[in-house]
Amino acid sequence: MTDAPTETPEATLQRLRASIDNIDAALVYLLAERFRATQQVGELKARYAMPASDPGREEQQVARLRALAEAAHLDPEFAEKWFNFVVAEVIRHHVAAGAEENERP
């Protein structure tokens, strides 16, 4: 980081928090886009009576995300837990919406 010699600790904190806020906004918008896609998957599977779950797909997703996490120097355990959290919410959302589709996309 560009730790300017004249920057006070409070200014550094402000600077880092501004970055965290920007990253969080980007994350929220990406999550929204992800939900749009999983919603379409749910609708598609319901319309064409496709199998609701696909364990092979999910395994593949977890393995890929763990590899991506390692490349990005993010704890792969965290990446996997995070993925499971998001997928659980997608399922809960589908169930709450009365959808018959429980895709774990």
Binding residues for a second copy (CB under 8 A)? 1, 9, 12-13, 16-17, 19-21, 23-35, 37-38, 40-41, 44-45, 47-48, 50, 57, 61, 64-65, 68-69, 72-75, 78-79, 81-83, 85-86, 89, 93, 105
Q: Which is nearer to a second copy, 4 or 40 (CB)?
A: 40
Shortest reach from residue 95's CB to a second copy, in Å: 13
Q: Give residue for tokens 């993925």.
A: 83
Shortest reach from residue 96's CB to a second copy, in Å: 9
- Kindly state the DSSP code that residue 52 receives in the 8-state scheme: S
Cα gap 94→74, rounded to integer Å: 29
Q: Each residue of 12-35: b (16+ CB within 10 Å) or e? A: eeeeeeeeeeeeeeeeeeeeeeee
